Amino acid sequence: MPHTKNILAKIFCSAIAACMLAQCTGSQITVENNSSSDVTFHFKGQTFEIDARGGRAEISDIPNGTYTYNTVYAIPAGVSLDDVTEGDGLSGNIDLFNHNTFISILYISALSVDADTTGETKTVYEIDASVSSNYSSVLGTD
């Protein structure tokens, strides 16, 4: 019987250790780029280059804390800087206070042609990011 108790004790300790590890896993951010330009996602002192139209990056095992993120993007050819509209989702803060928080950031953009009263046209570029999480209170944009 002592041998059986020893095996049961090892199984019990292994199960407890596995449960503790599962609760200590960090959070994850998935960044997807459906915009028409490449973006660079800045987070925790790192840069993540994400290709246009389907590029993706995953950042995992993020410890609890408050983090700022920012975005740099390429302006499409033929668009002047004055004709770019940025949404609020391109930068902000993320407050991670729960383990296993999952955050999704989705970049989107639109190109449109506008005409002024003289009939002159210009190309307007709009870019934004949609940010969501499995916890409602972890997101804040600047």
pLDDT per position as a tens digit, 49-95: 999 999 999 999 999 999 999 999 999 998 999 999 999 999 999 98
At residue 131, the pLDDT reads 93
Q: How far is the CA of 102 from the CAs of 1, 35, 39, in angstroms?
A: 46, 22, 21
CATH topology of domain 26-141: Immunoglobulin-like (2.60.40)
Concatenated DSSP letters of 68-92: EEEEEEPPPTT--GGGEEE-GGGSE
State pLDDT tens for residues 32-43.
999 999 999 999
At CA 97, angle to CA 96 and CA 100, rounded to 5?
75
Q: Quick one: which H or E segment has residue 17?
A: helix 2-23
Rounded Cα gap, residues 23 and 47, in angstroms:
28
pLDDT band at 26 (very low <50, low <70, confident <90, very high): confident
Q: Where are the domains of the chain?
A: 26-141
Q: What is the pTM of this model?
A: 0.77
